[in-house]
A and B are shown apart, each in its own frame.
Chain A
Amino acid sequence: METSSFMSSLNYIQITTFFLVVLGVVMLLVSIYTVLKFMQVLKVNEFEKNQWYVIIVLIFFFVVGYTIHALDVFKVFSFPVDPALMVSLIYFFGAVFVIRAMISTEDMVKSILGEILTDNEAYTIFLKRLGAVENDFPHLKDSFSITCEHCNNKITYTIADVVRQHSNIGDKGVNTQTTFGVRSILLRPTHKCVGGRREIITVHDGDLAYRSIDQSRIIFGEKI
């Protein structure tokens, strides 16, 4: 009885606010769930995921803010802040949320495209991966050129490029193979090709001098 009288006492602004806030909170909770799922994928693929915790915290603040605002509208609880300031706070944290989300997305895209590592960092990762030191490879910092048989484009790459292109993969685009005691180092430079992004296995000798190309494959489809 009390509930129905409370509902009948609400004006159209309060009713609209109620539905909008409930809908907004539901969407925010779904967003938290989505980010948590998304972080599981990041974990598998070795992406930096700490910054996405900040996104979750910000979403959670929005849930709290929406709820307080709704309670304030219904006069259940009066938040000791001027309503105009409250709106400004929500706007401000909305902007913080957007910039944080953009930075995180940019970092992830750069990471996927391998633009985060400097050349020196990439060479260090390469040497660590092979358990070697710089002097082991006379051709470590050379630039190599191959031609893709699918798009006929000339592809120029360095070891640093390969490491960057595979920065989120355990092997960093580098493998070794020993055949009859002869060591080969296999690199997988990628390029934009017909039908998507293609990686070509290139074979280098123990000094990292280019030897030949091996098989290639599309690693991302056309739409990525």
Chain B
Amino acid sequence: MKKVHIKSIGTVIPLGDGATGKSLITKLLIKNTKDLNEALKLAQDVKKSLNIELEYCNEELEFEDKTVSTTLQYHVFPGQQQKISNSAPTFHEIVEIFNFLPSLKAVKVILMVFDVTRLESLKSLESWLAVAMQREWISSETKIILVANKIDILKPNKAFIEQVKNGIYQMLTAENINVSREQISSIEVSAVLLEGTQELRNEIFDWVALNGKQRIVEE
């Protein structure tokens, strides 16, 4: 039986405070880095983001009945919500400018990135999630992945992470956003040791392949 060939595309937005690892994780996911030295070099090259970073990557995924050419469009915004200087735009200023992008109308994956060594960065995700809700980025087709970064320094408490995921679900449903509990997942990552990055990449690709904006190429 010949498989159907489908193209699927989806927007991925990493959200979280500055210095939580959004840019580095995005670069690792896009480059599909498996070499620690390369990861280290990427980590050294990452600079504070002052503008939106748009990156793309593709992968062909094989399913039982179909082949899905999956394209991820990463939109990485700066992590600072407060104005620190005239030359450094804030997240909100950047979003205002780029909000017209059609890709922001159908966000498929939101990565909520926090630094496990800074509880404050997890607390800040409340306001990041509020922004995502306000911008209507979250729908029944959006996967929300809580990314606990820097686990090479500290292992997060799993029970706590579960409670936070429940809290996210309750926050969304309280705003009448139609999501299921399964849409909210979590993953522990060490961007410098490449722990969890492959699983994160697979989870994002799988979701976008099945839930992205799709077009049949050939039957």
Size band of the interface chain A makes with B: 10 to 19
Q: State whether A179 and B117 are in contact (beta carbons under 8 Å apart), knowing that A205-B160, A212-B154 are contacts in the complex.
A: no
A 203-219 to B, binary, CB cutoff 8 A, 1 in contact else 0: 10100000111110000
- Measured between C-beta atoms, what is the minimum distance from B6 to chain A in Å? 35
Whether B164 lies near A212 (C-beta < 8 A) is no
Binds A, one of B49-57, B58-66, B72-80, B167-175: B167-175
Whether B119 lies near A177 (C-beta < 8 A) is yes
The reply to whether the CB of A180 lies closer than 8 angstroms to some CB of chain B is yes
The reply to whether the CB of A55 lies closer than 8 angstroms to some CB of chain B is no
Q: Specify which chain A residues have a CB less than 8 angstroms from the CB of B170 in the assembled complex.
A: 180-181
A 173-184 to B, binary, CB cutoff 8 A, 1 in contact else 0: 000010111101
Q: Specify which chain A residues have a CB less than 8 angstroms from the CB of B171 in the assembled complex.
A: 180-181
Q: Specify which chain B residues have a CB less than 8 angstroms from the CB of A184 in the assembled complex.
A: 119, 160
The reply to whether the CB of A59 lies closer than 8 angstroms to some CB of chain B is no
The reply to whether the CB of B196 lies closer than 8 angstroms to some CB of chain A is no
Complex: A44 Cα to B44 Cα, angstroms: 45
Q: State whether A186 and B168 are in contact (beta carbons under 8 Å apart), knowing that A211-B157, A211-B160 are contacts in the complex.
A: no
- Measured between C-beta atoms, what is the minimum distance from A67 to chain B in Å? 60
Whether A182 lies near B119 (C-beta < 8 A) is no
Selected from A179, A186, A201, A212, the residue in CB contact (under 8 A) with B116 is: A212
Most chain A C-beta atoms within 10 Å of own C-beta, residue among B117, B156, B171: B117
Q: Specify which chain A residues have a CB less than 8 angstroms from the CB of B166 in the assembled complex.
A: 180-181
The reply to whether the CB of B203 lies closer than 8 angstroms to some CB of chain A is no
Within 8 A of A (CB), among B142-169: 154-157, 159-160, 163-164, 166-168
- Measured between C-beta atoms, what is the minimum distance from A217 to chain B in Å? 13
Q: Specify which chain B residues have a CB less than 8 angstroms from the CB of A182 in the assembled complex.
A: 160, 163-164, 167
Selected from A179, A180, A181, the residue in CB contact (under 8 A) with B119 is: A179
- Measured between C-beta atoms, what is the minimum distance from B186 to chain A in Å? 12
Q: State whether A203 and B164 are in contact (beta carbons under 8 Å apart), knowing that A181-B170, A212-B156 are contacts in the complex.
A: no
Whether A215 lies near B117 (C-beta < 8 A) is yes
The reply to whether the CB of B123 lies closer than 8 angstroms to some CB of chain A is yes
Additional pairs, 20, CB under 8 Å, beyond known A180-B164, A212-B157, A215-B118? A179-B122, A180-B125, A180-B126, A180-B166, A180-B168, A180-B171, A181-B171, A182-B160, A182-B163, A182-B167, A184-B160, A186-B119, A201-B119, A205-B157, A205-B159, A211-B160, A212-B154, A212-B156, A212-B160, A214-B117
